């Protein structure tokens, strides 16, 4: 029974870590997009 509890805890921990990682990556991409918005007028094909 203990092994199932450990497996469940690890699965939940991995799901939380994955969700957190995706959130961090989305935030990073959003900041990068904001930073390069100024170049949009010069290079329209970059959008």
Residue pointed to by tokens 């094909």: 45
The pTM of the whole model exceeds 0.85? no
Give 20's DSSP letter. Answer: H
Cα-Cα end-to-end distance for the chain: 53
CB neighbour burial string for 28-46, b if at least 16 within 10 angstroms, e if fewer: eeeeeeeeeeeeeeeeeee
| Tokens at 33, concatenated | 């997009």
The pLDDT tens digits for 1-47 are: 999 999 999 999 999 999 999 989 888 887 777 666 656 555 655 55
Distance CA 22, CA 15 (A): 11
């Amino acid at each position: 029974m203990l092994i199932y509890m450990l497996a469940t805890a690890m699965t939940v921990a991995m799901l939380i870590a994955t969700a957190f990682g995706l959130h961090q990556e989305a935030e990073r991409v959003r900041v990068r997009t904001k930073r390069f918005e100024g170049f949009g007028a010069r290079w329209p094909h970059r959008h």
